Structure 1
Amino acid sequence: MPTNDHEMHQTPGPHDTHLRDDQSPGYETTDVNAGGVAVFLAGLFGFVLVFFVFCFVMGKVINSAIEKSDGPTTKWNKLSAFAGAETTNGKRQDLASNPEMQQKEFQQMTSTFPEPRLDIDDGNQATADMHAREDLLLNYYSVTPAETGGAIRIPISRAIELIAQRGLPVNSQAAAATVEMAGDEKPVVQAPLTSGFARTGYELEVIEAREQKMMYGKAEAATQAELVPAK
């Protein structure tokens, strides 16, 4: 059985790590250099402060150069593109997302751009919306605003029936005869051949698709009614 008793009788060498004396007590005999640490931290803080001041000054210089190159602020040349830049002197006050900022910029541009403006869908949807509003005024009862006396609008079909029954109002006082000059012609107003406006191809397609959908729904309902046994 091997033992380590022979190591107990050996003389320790000059580089023996287990030797403890005044030169090698086995622990640190000096304190930490607090002054050096303080100088390092102070230098680091000063560097960060100087770097921050440098970046701030450079940003001011760059912004002033950009403003000078853009020229004076006018209706078409604002301090910044995002909404509310005029009240904040061109500074951002929130952390809005990029799509939100783009939408605000688009709204601001469209509100300041003069009319008439181009339609983004070639006018199809805008024309359909206009005709839908006209249909509401022509085919249904409605009330005018209170500023105009609060009159009630009636459907155009009902108005035609009333005019056919009662006739057009006639002015009791005969108008004074006017002498026409040579070459003058009295304008004659002719009734339009349409119901008021012509449908566009887009609207005709929408109406046809709606009618086909309604016919399909009726046919499907009739088929289901035939399949259900009578009780």
Structure 2
Amino acid sequence: MPTNHSSGEHSGNPIQPDTESLKAGYEMSDVNVVNVIVFLGGLFGFVLIFYLFCFGMGKVINTALEKQDGPVDKWHQPGIFAGALNDGGKRENLASTTEMQQKELQAVTQQFPNPRLDTDDGNQATADLHAKEDLLLEHYSTAPGEAGIRIPIERAMELIVAKGLPVAAAVPSEHLAGDVTPKVQAPLTSGFARTGYELETIEAREQKMNYGKAEAAAHPEK
């Protein structure tokens, strides 16, 4: 039966390798440089076209979203929606979900009127309140519109112990049936109770100060 195969090609006879390559132990012919360059050029062109396509699609999507948001006014500030900047409502690049949620929460928190709910069980708010009380009770200060200077509470207690409290003249009065003389008892505590968060913060601050003092003592200036 006649075939179209040429003699020596796919006729059941194996192709003999090049004699020089067989003796050398490796391929002696050069790589087809033209085909390699064509492949790399095609790959680079495909990546470039894909990048331009994605960039254009992103621009189209952002433009559509900005039109959907509408113009910026007092009711629609640029910082309200996620991924927005404060320069005319331009959108940022895509951010992580957590970052976008934090930005939304900060924007809502800044616009929501007082009083606001605490996000940390009131630990930081309580610590700030006690810190302000410490500044007021432990240091000298003045108040606008009031005469005189506020002194620390420890100094005030020392002055009271030294001078004594003013005693009003006793006015004789008749006790009626059922009257009971009130008895004043000292409080069980000397002030407000510290929370666990404050105690940890104070302990960390003291450790940091002690570490700084130890470092200064170990490396004195020459």
Larger Rg: 1
Q: What TM-score results when the alignment is normalised by the length of structure 2?
A: 0.49
Q: What TM-score results when the alignment is normalised by the length of structure 1?
A: 0.47
